Structure 1
Amino acid sequence: MRCHKEVHKSEDGILRHPADGKAWKHFDSVYHDFALDSRSVRMGLASDGFNPFSNMTSTYSLWPVILIPYNMPPWTSPNGTNYLMSLLIPGPKSPGKDFDVFLKPLIDELKDLWDGIDAYDSFGKCMFKLRAAVIWTISDFPAYAYLSGWSTAGKLACPVSLEDTRSRRITDKQCFMGHRCYLNINHSWRRSKEYDGSSELRGLPRTFSGEDILKHLNEVPIRTTGKAPTNVSRKRKRGGNELNWSKKSILFDLPYWPTLLLRHNLDVMHIEKNVCDNIIGTLLDIEGKSKDNLKARKDLHDLKIREELWLKKSTNDKFEKPQASYTLTKEECKSFCKFIRSVRLPDGYASNISRCVTDNDKLRGMKTHDCHVLLYKILPVGIQPFLTKNIRGTLIGLCQFVQKICAKIVRVSDIEELKDGIVIILCKLEKIFPPTFFTIMVHLCVHLPDQVLLGGPVAMRWMFGTERHMGLYKRYIRNMARLDGSIAETFVVDEAISFLSRYISNIETRFNKPERSWNLPSANYSMDIFKSNVRPIGAPSIQLLHDWKNVIQWYILNNSADDIQEYLE
């Protein structure tokens, strides 16, 4: 618990831990007395809903509230045993705007922890005042609205830009374009009308501090909580000065909450998922997923842009949709899906993505981690034979943006370049794809570099760990008639067993469990490159190298410099 201060050494320009981010350092400078004691705990508050039943037609949802301590090294903080389930909000419906009612007991305890409680330090063998603080929240986009009080729907859906959100209503959809406002005021793209039929004269969206938000919240009337039919505050019209605020979050009752630089994290996991679905759905023209439909083509006609993509009337009074340069043909879809089927990934790196390829050469049923791996590694290679150079280069640039944002060790100089780079990429995408492609999740990419500078690497601030715990809590259930009680009892037992297993060494526990490949014989080779203990997949076979010979030679020469140096000399 002292690692973040006594062991971790910060390097200028390198982000390895949340302690390296601006938000952590700002918190230490404002609350110096809290930062003096390395045993003071900083935590993240994560929450998400999950369906405890296998039947997905059921709308039942439970909402655990989890506290994640950040004092430990990066490789132990996301460990499942360090996730503290502080609340379990029962179903059958999501708490919605009444989330604060359930958070009230936790907020009261967090206030006591901020003042300090008596605790014993077994390492220092002394009593001390244990203090703790929640420095941000982690959630998906719908839960972001529950925790922050800012509605993530409508024309002002962006919770970062708030009232300065750049959006445009086209037909029956809200499109979040207008990324040219992030360019230099004299940039030539601002004057172009090829993007949405108009020039961009607006300046950068403002950055809102905690004090600015409190001024906004003073305009929001206090609403009565609860969903009773007699509650007049349950359904009310928002005033003009309320913007998208639905309530004042109970987190503002914490004395330090308004001073935080990063109060709520944008979840990179779900942003990746939605961006990947938009790209794959449009490239492969998947029905129901493609953003290039008949309405999108009508929008291009209404905006008077890209005339070559307008609907054309055929001889039988029907409209035909011209082939777009960003959509693959049937033969190209077949080749792309053949490539996806041929992909082989290391054991434990990802699931079998080839299972997502359908019989009609489309991709369906991809999970969040499948989308992450697809954008991270596969898509930049898979689209090389297809599309034009401009479209291909722009999509590869977006994939490289994802790679750098999700890195475990981040350079500040790289992130500063990404702040300008993602604006250029989004502007190029506005010129390629129809307006309906730009949902709020695509727009949120522009804010990710700033959040990395504030909070550090995203690996400790995204929902992957929390989502895995939803599956764990689902397996806790033994009594389908008492879901929340069953989860609570099993969680207490699991916590006790985990605590005891830390002090047991003569039996196998989750802390001393060997690796998956522990039973493999040690490879007796002189070169290090052949000594990896890995378990091969599939049945053995003997084949001639043919075209793989040059690839294998290149791999050995580039990964065994020390072993072959004497031969090279």
Structure 2
Amino acid sequence: MEVLDKSWIKRPRNSLEYAQGVSRFIEFAFAHHSADGTIICPCNACAFKKWLTRDEVYDHLICTQFPIGYTFWFYHGERSIGETSNVSSSIFSDVQQNSMADEQHPMVEVDSIRNLISEGLGVGGNIKNGTPVITNEVIDGDAQRSMPSESHESLEAKGFSELLKDGEEALYEGCTRYSKLSFLLKLFHIKSLCGMTDKSMKMILELLSDAFEYARIPSSFYEAKKIISKLSLDCTKIHACPNNCMLYWGEDENRETCKVCNRSRWKTDKKKGPAEASSIIGNKKKKHPAKVLRYFPLKSRLKRLFYSSKTAADMRWHATAENKDNAMRHPRDSEAWKRFDLEHSDFASDPRNVRLALATDGFNPHGTLSANHSIWPVILIPYNTPPWTCMKSTSFIISMIIPGKKMPGNNIDVYFQPLIKELKELWVEGCDAYDALTQEVFKLHAALLWTISDFPGLGTLSGWNTYTGLACPSCNFDNIPHRLNHSKKYCFMGHRRFLDQRHKFRLNTVQFNGRQETRLPPRTLSGSEILSQVENINVTFGRREEIGRSGKRLRTGGTVEGGGTQQWKKKSIFFELPYWKSNLLRHNLDMMHIEKNVCDNILYTLLNDSSKSKDHINARRDLQEMGIKPDLWPRENGKYPPAIYTLNNLGKKKFLTTLKNVTVPDGYASNISRCIDIDSLKLSGMLKSHDCHILMEQLLPLAMRTGLPDEVSAVLIEMCSFFRQLCGKALSAPYLKKLQDQIVLTLCHMEMLFPPSFFTVMVHLMVHLVEEAQLGGPVHYRWMYPIERYLGHLKSYVRNKAQPEGSIAQGYLMEEILTFCSRYLENIETRWNRPRRVDDEPTHEESNPWLDTLFPQVGKPLGVSSYFTLTATEKLQAQPPRSYKLIDMC
């Protein structure tokens, strides 16, 4: 019997290889195992339960994917060739004795559960006779120092054997389709994907255990969760000072009071005093910490990526995939990544070493109408993985959950201490990990490339003050702050300095700020130069209460010695990483919020909104004070003439009507028309960031043509084109140079049109976006859209509003297990095979695979089908040109 090629199983269904493979499989099955002209259909719908004819099986396998894990065709006559499964001998023998006509599950699931358990516990390559062989090489150094190797081995072996027992134990006597563990995993997947509550799961389990008394189904949700949690990775609780002064860990682990503000570590009873003071000897009350940081150790999570045979290959993608056209499609193509590899060649020599990005932002877990509460999850993103998985939520690793109720602000470095310590260990010493792809133990290292946050978050992480006239971190101190006295805000103009020195706009004083521009563009400072600026800044972290002169309590954040407002608020804790100062890009400007703010400025200024427009009476007084654009100065009666960019009522109606009548595909954007009020000629609702993204790049260029003069619409369309091109999936270095020249000229034209109050710091930051794209690669790896969506997902975990951080931690730990397990499960909807929100897959495919490859069918018909006869002219028009000679379509 010949060895069959089964690589076609993982090929797309519309490929020629897949169609030929299905035909070979059917021929093999009918030659070796058929009954009355039928065979068992292995498609996901039939699930090895139905005996069908040749044509029916072919149709099913063409319309649905062949089971990926069914590579040993036991049900179709294969006995001793091909890829045999590593199946438990006891279960395999039981299945062999059963009739092929019984409704049984394929043996690949038993093998998948066994692989899931072994790889989930990190013993994938070290199993003998069903028992894990634990070597000290794959145990963390901390674990080796904390316990003898014998006790660790016994604990690991015990946990493995318990899970293995649950994985091989039949759900009920004689059941070969589900084991106890696989049934619970699929049940928990349903709970997670459908958003079921814990109480609903408890009631379902009670009903199932009562209805099927002989089934091995836990009777309580607690017992079921206890079985699943054996695959969980650890989470450490670290007590923190409620004033964000310090963490009770390391040398300070046993302290009872804060060493900075002297506040108690424990919660206090307002009536009875501190909890420890109210304790009674012999009947001690349990002390509750005032604040808890939940930290998720990084080493174990990175090692699991290599333990799993499903993800080990993806962690090498950045080094193995080719880049034929030298375009930037991934951070590995960026200048910052390449410079990092050149300066740290030892780190770059092993493609398994992990590059990480850190993202964080705060959110209110209770909703906008409840009391203020700000939780800050810290998320790590591994950049080793390919583009189609890199920025998905299933690839995110939560590092810590910084508790509320108040945002940490400048004191966020206090909570970063455990992560920075672990990152330094991963850089210097590394940790031993097992590679499932090569089946060897290697030394795993990791490095942090940059951070992702909104603009205020950038100030929190870096220590740069983003609320002054020097708010731009890229320009640094090479800028002249300009405060508008009447508008009472800083403006950020002067983009002529980015032009060529011989450009005519540099000498133009009338249409700009009344002065000639002779400055050179600001120089981008290196990490070493930034470090020299912050080297001598000493900060005392914490939030302490002080009594002001008026008798009110004042709260002060991290205090800089010397007092006063300083541009640098601290020396960032990230500089403790040995390589941080050599990184070309350390903190990213967020494209999402920049685009949102620019869109708001344009929309409300064009519509002359009374509350949000950047063109108002104070803005005109600022023009008069600066002595520029006299035709726009306010009159004596307090009114001011309309500007060229201000829409009249007819223009507003045309503009808003165009936006309201635009129809976009389902899921492309929210219903923007609901925000438009034609009667009052206003945008009456809140536009979300993604709506502004669609407006800027797709809809505004269309709408502005109807109501604005050409000189205004041309400039704004150029700006919209800039955002659209910068958000492309592929970027090239020569094209980015042209894009930089385009945005500088566009900003200069906007300075000639709009008042100085229009140019907030978010408008100014557009000039630095191209430079960051050159350093960091495509923007969709460095903006906040996937992070914001993930924070909304974490918000759904909050069931106990008294303990929101604990609810999020428990929900994440359970989701982490299910995300890992979903790679090994078949015949159920998981995070990796979920259908799209709108399933446009065709219900039937043509039998000719060559035709499907050239013309793949997208979409499916709606409603009742109808038949009609084409006229001779219509047939002629429908016929393809003779030069193609593809196929006779008639």
When normalised by structure 2's length, the TM-score is 0.58
Name the structure 1 match of 2:446. 132
Q: Could you tell me how far 1:320 is from its partner in structure 2? A: 1.7
Is 521-530 or 118-127 further displaced after alignment? 521-530
Name the structure 1 match of 2:467. 153
Give, in whole Å, the separation in 2 of the partners of 1:535 and 1:444. Answer: 47
Name the structure 2 match of 1:470. 791
Give, in whole Å, the separation in 2 of the partners of 1:248 and 1:217. Answer: 5
Name the structure 2 match of 1:546. none
Verify the 8 A CA contact 2:654 2:706 in the aligned structure 1: no
Name the structure 2 match of 1:341. 660
Q: Could you tell me how far 1:518 is from its partner in structure 2? A: 5.2
Answering whether residue 645 of structure 2 is matched by residue 326 of structure 1, we say yes
Per-residue displacement from partner, 1:320-360 (whole Å, max 9, x unpaired)? 22111101111211111111111111122211111121352
- 2:347 is aligned with what amino acid? F
Verify the 8 A CA contact 1:46 1:139 in the aligned structure 2: yes
Q: Could you tell me how far 1:514 is from its partner in structure 2? A: 2.7
Is 200-209 or 474-483 further displaced after alignment? 200-209
1:448-463 aligned at under 5 Å gives the runs: 448-463=769-784
Name the structure 1 match of 2:501. 185
Verify the 8 A CA contact 1:415 1:453 in the aligned structure 2: yes
Give, in whole Å, the separation in 1 of the partners of 2:462 and 2:338. Answer: 23
Q: Could you tell me how far 1:532 is from its partner in structure 2? A: 2.5
Aligned length: 543
Name the structure 2 match of 1:362. 682
- Mark the runs of 5 or more structure 1 residues left unpaired by the alignment: 543-552
Verify the 8 A CA contact 2:411 2:558 in the aligned structure 1: no
Greater relative contact order, per chain length (Cα 8 Å cut-off, separation 6+): 1
Per-residue displacement from partner, 1:497-522 (whole Å, max 9, x unpaired)? 11111100121212122333257534
Give, in whole Å, the separation in 1 of the partners of 2:556 and 2:645. Answer: 50
Q: 1:395 to 1:519 in 2, by over 3 A?
A: closer
Give, in whole Å, the separation in 2 of the partners of 1:207 and 1:371. Answer: 30
- Mark the runs of 5 or more structure 2 residues left unpaired by the alignment: 1-313, 547-554, 867-873, 886-890
Give, in whole Å, the separation in 1 of the partners of 2:707 and 2:884. Answer: 40
1:295 to 618, 628, 648: 618
Answering whether residue 417 of structure 2 is matched by residue 87 of structure 1, we say no
SS in 2 for 1:345: coil
1:220-299 aligned at under 5 Å gives the runs: 220=537, 222-229=538-545, 234-235=558-559, 244-299=567-622
When normalised by structure 1's length, the TM-score is 0.90
Name the structure 2 match of 1:97. 410
Name the structure 1 match of 2:512. 195
SS in 2 for 1:45: strand
- 2:508 is aligned with what amino acid? S
Q: 1:505 to 1:475 in 2, by over 3 A?
A: same
* Largest Rg, 1 or 2: 2
Per-residue displacement from partner, 1:15-69 (whole Å, max 9, x unpaired)? 1010000000000000001101110000100000001112346321100000001
Verify the 8 A CA contact 2:606 2:646 in the aligned structure 1: yes
- 1:150 is aligned with what amino acid? W
Give, in whole Å, the separation in 2 of the partners of 1:510 and 1:333. Answer: 45
Q: 1:219 to 1:325 in 2, by over 3 A?
A: same
Verify the 8 A CA contact 1:522 1:531 in the aligned structure 2: no
Give, in whole Å, the separation in 2 of the partners of 1:103 and 1:286. Answer: 43
- 1:139 is aligned with what amino acid? S
- 1:209 is aligned with what amino acid? S
- 2:395 is aligned with what amino acid? N
Name the structure 1 match of 2:65. none
Verify the 8 A CA contact 1:376 1:403 in the aligned structure 2: yes
% same residue: 44
Q: 1:153 to 1:332 in 2, by over 3 A?
A: same
Per-residue displacement from partner, 1:200-224 (whole Å, max 9, x unpaired)? 121211210011111111242x111
1:212 to 529, 548, 561: 529
Per-residue displacement from partner, 1:109-136 (whole Å, max 9, x unpaired)? 1111112100000110000011111100
Name the structure 2 match of 1:66. 379
Give, in whole Å, the separation in 1 of the partners of 2:563 and 2:494. Answer: 26
Verify the 8 A CA contact 1:223 1:233 in the aligned structure 2: no
Verify the 8 A CA contact 2:840 2:860 in the aligned structure 1: no
Answering whether residue 478 of structure 2 is matched by residue 164 of structure 1, we say yes
Give, in whole Å, the separation in 2 of the partners of 1:339 and 1:65. Answer: 41
1:17 to 320, 330, 351: 330
Name the structure 1 match of 2:702. 381
Give, in whole Å, the separation in 2 of the partners of 1:351 and 1:234. Answer: 41
SS in 2 for 1:565: coil
Give, in whole Å, the separation in 2 of the partners of 1:473 and 1:532. Answer: 34
Give, in whole Å, the separation in 2 of the partners of 1:532 and 1:82. Answer: 28
1:396 to 705, 717, 729: 717
SS in 2 for 1:477: coil
Give, in whole Å, the separation in 2 of the partners of 1:108 and 1:205. Answer: 35
Per-residue displacement from partner, 1:141-170 (whole Å, max 9, x unpaired)? 111011101111101100111101344112
1:419 to 731, 737, 740: 740
- 2:490 is aligned with what amino acid? Q
Q: Could you tell me how far 1:229 is from its partner in structure 2? A: 2.9
Provide the alpha-carbon RMSD of the alignment: 2.5
- 1:514 is aligned with what amino acid? P
SS in 1 for 2:443: strand
Verify the 8 A CA contact 1:14 1:411 in the aligned structure 2: yes
SS in 2 for 1:498: helix
SS in 1 for 2:441: strand
1:476-495 aligned at under 5 Å gives the runs: 476-495=797-816
SS in 2 for 1:202: coil
Give, in whole Å, the separation in 1 of the partners of 2:402 and 2:530. Answer: 27
1:436-447 aligned at under 5 Å gives the runs: 436-447=757-768
Q: 1:243 to 1:98 in 2, by over 3 A?
A: closer
Answering whether residue 345 of structure 2 is matched by residue 32 of structure 1, we say yes
Give, in whole Å, the separation in 2 of the partners of 1:534 and 1:466. Answer: 33
- 2:446 is aligned with what amino acid? A
Q: 1:489 to 1:6 in 2, by over 3 A?
A: same
Give, in whole Å, the separation in 1 of the partners of 2:370 and 2:602. Answer: 28
Give, in whole Å, the separation in 1 of the partners of 2:752 and 2:562. Answer: 35
Name the structure 1 match of 2:843. 521
Verify the 8 A CA contact 2:843 2:860 in the aligned structure 1: no
Per-residue displacement from partner, 1:403-444 (whole Å, max 9, x unpaired)? 111001112221110111111000000000000000000000
Verify the 8 A CA contact 1:522 1:533 in the aligned structure 2: no
Give, in whole Å, the separation in 2 of the partners of 1:567 and 1:333. Answer: 51
Q: 1:368 to 1:238 in 2, by over 3 A?
A: farther
- 1:370 is aligned with what amino acid? D
Name the structure 2 match of 1:143. 457
Q: 1:236 to 1:214 in 2, by over 3 A?
A: closer
Verify the 8 A CA contact 1:157 1:165 in the aligned structure 2: no
